[in-house]
Amino acid sequence: MIKQDDPKVITLSIGDGANDVSMMREAHIGIGIYGNEGMQAVQSCDFAIGEFKFLWRLLLHHGRLSYLRNAETILYFFYKNLVLTAPHIFYSFYNGFSGQPIFDDYYINFYNLLYTSWPLVIKACME
């Protein structure tokens, strides 16, 4: 009901049994707790924790780190594309806005491949 009233709201559901599985799948973020009722909730959730006391660290510490990682990634891609397109803009003044690119298509493709995949792989390995 909350998701239908306001689409900007992000919902979180916490459950430990099979009766909570549909609730966790419907929410944006599902947290399953290892419990006595079985493993269905843990297998169908986004995050699994052992006890409720781990919820504090999951939400505040890991949530903040996730936010910082996403912000850093967005800024990286913004500046990466700015570095690629700025020479094209300045070159367009030189060639009279004819549409001729300053770099060959292979250079543009390899630039995006190299500077899109490798920094993410390196950052993932370092963490």
- Beta pairing class for 29-33 and 47-49: parallel
- Burial label, 20 (beta-carbon count in 10 A; 0-12, 13-18, 19+): buried
Q: Where are the domains of the chain?
A: 1-52, 62-127
Q: Tell me the per-residue pLDDT of 43-85, one tens digit each, with 9 for 90 and over.
A: 989 899 988 889 888 888 888 988 998 899 899 989 999 998 9
Is the pTM for the entire model greater than 0.85? no
Kindly report the length of the chain.
Answer: 127
Q: Tell me the per-residue pLDDT of 79-114, one tens digit each, with 9 for 90 and over.
A: 999 998 999 999 999 999 998 889 998 988 898 888
Q: What angle do CA 88, 91, 92 make, to 5 degrees?
A: 85
Contacts of 38 (CB under 8 A, 6+ apart): 17, 18
Taking CA atoms, 101 is separated from 9, 52, 90, in Å, by: 43, 57, 11
